[in-house]
Structure 1
Amino acid sequence: MSQPAPIPTSASTPAPAPAPVPTERLHLAMPPQHSSPEEARRHRKERLAAALRLFGRMGFEEGVAGHITARDPEFTDCCWVNPFGVPFGHITVSDLILVNQDGQVLEGRHHVNQAAFVVHSRVHAARPDVVAVAHSHTTYGRALSALAEPLDPITQDACAFYEDHALLDRCTGVTVDEEEGARIASALGPHKAVILRNHGLLTVGDSVDAAAWWFLQMERACEIQLAAKAAGNPVLIDHKSAVATREQLGGDLVAWINYQPLYTGITRDEPGLLT
């Protein structure tokens, strides 16, 4: 008598793979479009409060130093900024203040940091394409600034800044006059970032998310460069490859996309910041 045919097993006849999900059903976060200035304003303020909380969580706060500004979408010569003396880790949307180019508080219940007004107002005035400006006195940013040297293309991530950041090779000190703010804006030029000698880092972007991401990445790049040079002689990425990498990674949209996990994390962990 013949033996029955063996029953196929999953090992011998693997199940067919699921059909691909149609592309139009896949979700990809992109910058939102707003139907009104009020909606855009609320969005920028939420992103600003979240970025300040992230900076606080990452130890970017040094006393009352450090500030992030966001241009108002309607009154474009005015900016929202963190109030003087309020810890980054306590900032909420309702704490933010609106300041004009004369340094006057138009909305809010706190004073403005004079350095924030002087530096940021000059940068915003010189760069109408910029929505947000970030500056703080971070450890590695200050360390590299003390060497008065730019970022080298020694990692893929650092290439985002290749030929797209500047060095203000003079000590700015405490910036409390408009001439100094104008010098910083001039040194920044068309770039996304500037290293202020003996001072720290400043980054800009066409969104709060982009400016914050560039600051985070620049601080990390400073840390890596200092560590690499302390260990030996870093190998530079060649010019052609560095430029090609910058073209892939150095745009504000790429920065916005990279920043989204951080925004999602901080707002889920600390939803009170949105009040």
Structure 2
Amino acid sequence: MQNESVSNVRENVTEAEWKMRVDLAACYRLIAMYGWDDLVFTHISARVPDTEDAFLINPYGLLFEEITASNLVKVNQAGEKISPSDYDINPAGFTIHSAVHGARHDAHCVLHLHTGDGVAVSAQEQGLLPISQQSLFPLSNLAYHDYEGIALNPEEKVRLVADLGDANFMILRNHGLLTCASSVADAFLFMYIMQKACEVQIKAQSGGATLTQIPAQILAGIQAASAQVTKGAGGDIAWPALLRKLRRTDSSFEE
């Protein structure tokens, strides 16, 4: 049973924070819906609007399908809870998220997954290959970070953010995928595209035939083409429809 201060979260946060909570909870539900979750072991975080040091992340031990706007945990850059919560967070997960949030003020949402196809591509020496239309979007803005073990060493933060630079897509070698963006909608769309590119790559490789790679000059123009396809809306081109889909199936993420 939640205590009163937890159950009344909406009454005790700003409208901007509540909207961010709803979007972040929706993102967790969508990851579960697409089958990209890994029990309780991956994370999506979002900066609390109008703050520099406050972030929302999943309560450790809940499945992604159980995440709601109210049960997200608010922590500071050190991973300490700064509002009442019945739940703890995963310290290893927040090592990665706090590193990105701390170094990239434009990264309001950080999304990290361990999907089978994503990990499979992360284990390949050549990484993501330019063999599909989907692959071109992450390849135009992609970074890599070498595996250093479970992310408990705070010293890894420096190397991770140095490798990330100003990229919005990252492959954590032998580990998984990461995207970051100025909104939950953009971070989700980035992950959707990179995950799809990984799925296509693994399927294409399984056929055993020689793969045709897309010419470099096409890759060079992909960001301009992307802006045209989404009419400049980025992730917002699909996000309202995704929210409608969630509300038709289970609207409890908004609680």
TM-score (norm 1): 0.81
Offset at 1:253?
3.5
The Cα shift of 1:229 comes to 2.3
Q: Which residue of 1 aligns with 2:249?
A: 269
Instruction: Name the residue aligned to 2:238.
Output: 258
Kindly report which structure 2 residues correspond to 1:1-275, keeping only aligned pairs within 5 A, or say none.
Answer: 38-107=14-83, 108-168=85-145, 170-231=146-207, 232-249=209-226, 253-275=233-255
State the shift of 1:80 in Å. Answer: 0.5
Task: Give the superposition deviation at 1:241.
Answer: 1.4
Amino acid at match of 1:98: K
Identity %: 33
Deviates more, 1:185-194 or 1:155-164: 155-164
The SS at the match of 1:106 is: coil
Q: Distance in 1 between matches of 2:114 and 2:176?
A: 5
Unaligned runs of 5+ in 1: 1-36
For 2:212 and 2:159, locate their aligned partners in 1 and report how far apart those are by CA, in whole Å: 33
Match in the other structure for 1:12: none
Question: How far apart in 2 are the matches of 1:211 and 1:201?
Answer: 12
Residue 254 of structure 1 aligns with an amino acid whose one-letter code is: G
Q: CA deviation at 1:265?
A: 0.7
Match of 2:9 in 1: none
Q: Tell me which structure has the larger Cα radius of gyration.
A: 1
> Structure 2: which amino acid aligns with 1:41?
E
What secondary structure is seen at the aligned counterpart in 1 of 2:152? Answer: coil
Gap change, CA 1:253 and 1:149, over 3 Å in 2:
farther
How has the CA–CA distance of structure 1 residues 172 and 261 changed in structure 2, closer, same or farther, with 3 Å as cutoff?
A: farther
Using the TM superposition, give the Cα deviation of residue 38 of structure 1 relative to its aligned residue in structure 2, in angstroms.
1.8
SS across alignment from 1:202: strand
Question: Distance in 2 between the 1:269 and 1:211 partners?
Answer: 22
Question: What is the distance in 2 between the residues matched to 1:173 and 1:148?
Answer: 18
SS of structure 1 residue aligned to 2:92: helix
2:138–2:193 CA contact under 8 A, matched in 1: no
Q: Distance in 2 between matches of 1:153 and 1:259?
A: 26
Q: Is the 8 A contact 1:119 1:178 kept in 2?
A: no
Q: CA deviation at 1:242?
A: 1.6
SS of residue in 1 equivalent to 2:158:
helix
Residues of 2 paired with 1:61 and 1:92: CA distance? Answer: 16
Q: Residue type matched to 2:221 in 1? A: A
Asked if 2 retains the 8 angstrom alpha-carbon contact of 1:153 and 1:159, the reply is yes
Report the 3-state secondary structure (helix = DSSP H, G, I; strand = E; otherwise coil) of the residue aligned with 2:21. Answer: helix
- 1:181, 1:213 → 2: CA distance? 25
- Offset of residue 152 of structure 1: 2.2
Which residue type is aligned with residue 191 of structure 1?
A
Structure 2 CA distance for aligned equivalents of residues 47 and 236 of structure 1? 36
Which stretches of structure 1, 4 residues or more, deviate above 6 A after TM superposition? none
CA RMSD in angstroms comes to: 1.8
Deviation at 1:116, TM superposition (A): 2.3
| 2:216 counterpart letter in structure 1 | H
Deviation by residue 1:191-237 (Cα, 9 ceiling, x = unmatched): 11111111000110110111112112211111101211222222222
* C-alpha deviation, 1:40, in angstroms: 1.7
Give the letter aligned to residue 68 of structure 2.
T
The equivalent of 1:19 in structure 2 is none
Q: Which moved more, 1:184-193 or 1:135-144?
A: 184-193
When residues 198 and 120 of structure 1 are mapped into structure 2, their CA distance, relative to the original with a 3 A threshold, is same
